[in-house]
Amino acid sequence: MSNITLGNLSYISREELAEQLKTSSSAPSLPSHLAIIDVRDSDHVGGHIRGSTWVPSSELDYKTPELVRTLKDKEVVVFHCALSQQRGPSAALRYIRERERLDQGRGGEKETGDGEEKEPGKEKGQKVLVLRGGFTQWQDKYGPDKGLTEAWQKDIWEFGY
């Protein structure tokens, strides 16, 4: 059983994530080391972070093993929902636990090699983060920026979430 909990997940601010997207030479796609997973459900309308992958939280039960396999070479995986209070952190935790389960099935080690355990969410060099404030805070600052946000609709967001 994993010792990782919601309480020890790591977060990234909207500013830090935007900076990674802005400095990417691969625009309009994401930098090759980064994946952004949007787990909003029907509230996905009104825009999304450029290059993000939409995996509704209602589909995570069967899509998480596939995500672990397809994202295995990414250095950073960022999860978010609307507010990143429930679905986003839960998805990140589910992803980390599934990755651990699959690694154990392959005989993978949780240790760094020097007898110390790795930080939660950083096994095999991959960092799993949650976007602080979710898409709601993201769009509040970066919604109109077409270089950072796709399909943003001002009329959906102008009166808040």
Distance from chain centroid for Cα 98: 15
pLDDT beyond 80 at 107: no
Known active-site residue 81: yes
Nearest to 85 by CA among 142, 130, 41, 53: 130
Active-site residue, selected from the candidate residues 81, 82, 83, 91: 81
pLDDT in tens, 112-151: 333 344 455 554 589 999 999 999 999 999 999 999 999 9
pLDDT of residue 3: 81
For domain 6-143, give the CATH superfamily. Rhodanese-like domain (3.40.250.10)
Quick check: 124 and 74 in contact, CB under 8 A? Answer: no
> What does the domain layout of the chain look like in residue ranges?
6-143
